[in-house]
Amino acid sequence: LGLRDNCRQLAEQGWTVLHGVRDSNFNASLRQRILNLSRGAGANMLLHKDPVFATAVLLPQLLALAEFSVGRGFLLSQVAASVRTQNSPAIGLHADHNWLPAPFPAHNMLMTACWACDEYTQEGGATLVIPGSAQHRRHPDNEECKSLKGAIPIECPAGSIAVWDGNLWHSNYPRSLEGE
**Neighbour count for residue 115 (Cβ, 10 Å):** 22
- Residue 139 has a pLDDT of 96
pTM for this predicted structure:
0.94
Q: For 19-61, what is each residue's pLDDT tens digit?
A: 999 999 999 999 999 999 998 789 999 999 999 999 999 999 9
H or E element at residue 170 = strand 170-172
Mean pLDDT of 95-118: 92
Q: What are the beta bridge partners of residue 161?
A: 18, 115
pLDDT confidence tier of residue 98, bands split at 50, 70 and 90: confident
Mean pLDDT score across all residues of the chain: 95
Mean pLDDT of 156-163: 97
Neighbouring C-alpha atoms within 13 Å toward the C-beta of 69? 30
Residue 12 scores a pLDDT above 90: yes
